[in-house]
Amino acid sequence: MTVVDLRAYLKEQWPEIKGRLLSGSYEPKPVRRVEIPKPDGKGVRKLGIPTVVDRLIQQTLHQVMNPIFEFGSVSHE
């Protein structure tokens, strides 16, 4: 699935995905492995690519779990 297809997919599937997330039964799909060349040009390394839906969920949880800003850096002048 491409990012372009994601919106339509989520409109249809979100209630089920949300239910599985809330119940703790959501399981991400296996990551797809691709080989990319190493920067030094000597060999390759494996890169794991999650599905578009799993990546969206990962990023959403990461942003919800991390503070949007640090309280110590806010100026109260």
Q: Is the pLDDT of residue 76 over 60?
A: no
Three-state DSSP class for 50? Answer: coil
Measured distance CA(41)–CA(1) in Å, rounded: 31
Q: Tell me, yes or no, whether 54 lies in a domain.
A: yes
Q: Tell me, yes or no, whether 21 lies in a domain.
A: yes
Q: Is the pLDDT of residue 66 over 60?
A: yes
Q: Quick one: pLDDT at residue 53? A: 95
19, amino acid identity: G
The tally of domains found in the chain comes to 1
Q: Region 49-66: what's the mean pLDDT? A: 89
Q: Tell me, yes or no, whether 60 lies in a domain.
A: yes
Q: Is the pLDDT of residue 25 over 90?
A: yes
Tokens for 22, please give them: 């809330």
Three-state DSSP class for 70? Answer: coil
Three-state DSSP class for 30? Answer: coil
Range of the structural domain that residue 43 is part of: 3-67
Longest Cα pair distance anywhere in the chain, in angstroms?
55
Q: Quick one: pLDDT at residue 38? A: 94
